[in-house]
Amino acid sequence: MQSTLVRIHDLVRTFGEGETRVEAVRGLDLELARGEIVLVMGPSGSGKTTFLSMLGGLLRATSGEIWIDGTDIAALAERELPPFRARTFGFIFQDFNLLAALSARENVEVALNIAGVRGGPARERAETLGNAMGLGNRLDFPVEKLSGGEKQRVAIARAIANRPALILADEPTANLDSHHGAETMRLLRGLAKEEGTTVVIVSHDERLREIADRALWLEDGRFKTLQALVRDPTCGMLVDPAEAPASVELGGERLFFCSAGCRDEFLADNTPIGYSQGARPMGTR
């Protein structure tokens, strides 16, 4: 049975005071299993980066608990956080944060050195990971000469180098075409599953759903179940059936729309096969 690595309870983060007060994250509860890959999606400003930063011990929670492997990091003293972070997390940022003048191999080695692995063992581990990420003949190039996709693979090799329990990635494919991004993320999935690492990816990139075990939808600082959301067949947007402004029943199936406009366009554009067979539009709600 998979064991639980992360247990988050009633996590809250507010910014500012009075009129400028923003409730970025409002009472999140979440459990993550070891080896699980979870994708967090949601509109801009919904609290994704805020949530990920708290989970990674980079930002203080206003209240709530974040238990990681038996430690509540929301309750750790400031000075205890950096060593805990170094031991526990691998980070992958949108712009990768690599050291441009160093080679791919050296970037991975630096991460290993910081965690106390040096010399031969560090070189070997860097090479093994570089090869696993398909960087073989690029290992000794300065990363500033690498393509976006290659840089991303270096960033993944570095994040996973110290066998962290948890990898946190914020918009890791944002600077890549989505095909290339999804391909690299599949490599991450392979590595993570081999090492039993839990991975949390925050992204707008729909393609990453392919590699995730579970997808969560964050909106207004709260999780909604993504499975409960359905796609507007006209514009492709995800809509919450409970709040959809328009819907139509067609051939025994109910379709939900983000607006009455999309519903009308759908009815005008589609030969309503089910319609002619007797199904009736149920109108707006």
Ligand X SMILES: Nc1ncnc2c1ncn2[C@@H]1O[C@H](COP(=O)(O)OP(=O)(O)OP(=O)(O)O)[C@@H](O)[C@H]1O
Residue 283: name its binding partner from ligand X, Mg ion, none (Cβ under 5 to 8 Å by kind): none
Which residues, 6+ apart, have CB-to-CB distance to 268 below 8 Å? none
Minimum Å gap between C-beta 50 and ligand X is 3
Cite the beta strand spans of the chain per DSSP E.
Answer: 4-15, 22-33, 37-41, 63-68, 71-72, 89-92, 166-170, 198-202, 214-219, 222-225, 230-231, 238-239, 246-250, 253-257
Distance CA 232, CA 226 (A): 14
Residue (of 1, 2, 5) closest to 199 by Cα position: 5
Stretch that binds ligand X, among 15-23, 74-82, 248-256, 275-283 (CB under 6 A): 15-23
Q: 48 or 105: whose CB is closer to Mg ion?
A: 48
Exposure of 165 in the CB half-sphere (CA atoms within 13 A) = 19
Question: Exactly one of 11, 24, 126, 258 binds ligand X (CB under 6 A); which one?
Answer: 24
Residue 22: name its binding partner from ligand X, Mg ion, none (Cβ under 5 to 8 Å by kind): ligand X
Minimum Å gap between C-beta 73 and Mg ion is 20
The H or E element spanning position 125 is helix 119-132
Minimum Å gap between C-beta 18 and Mg ion is 24
Residue 46: name its binding partner from Mg ion, ligand X, none (Cβ under 5 to 8 Å by kind): ligand X
Q: Which residue is nearest to Mg ion (CB)?
A: 49
Distance CA 281, CA 285 (A): 12
Minimum Å gap between C-beta 226 and ligand X is 15
Stretch that binds ligand X, among 38-46, 192-200, 251-259, 264-272 (CB under 6 A): 38-46
Contacts to ligand X by CB under 6 A: 15-16, 22, 24, 42, 44-50
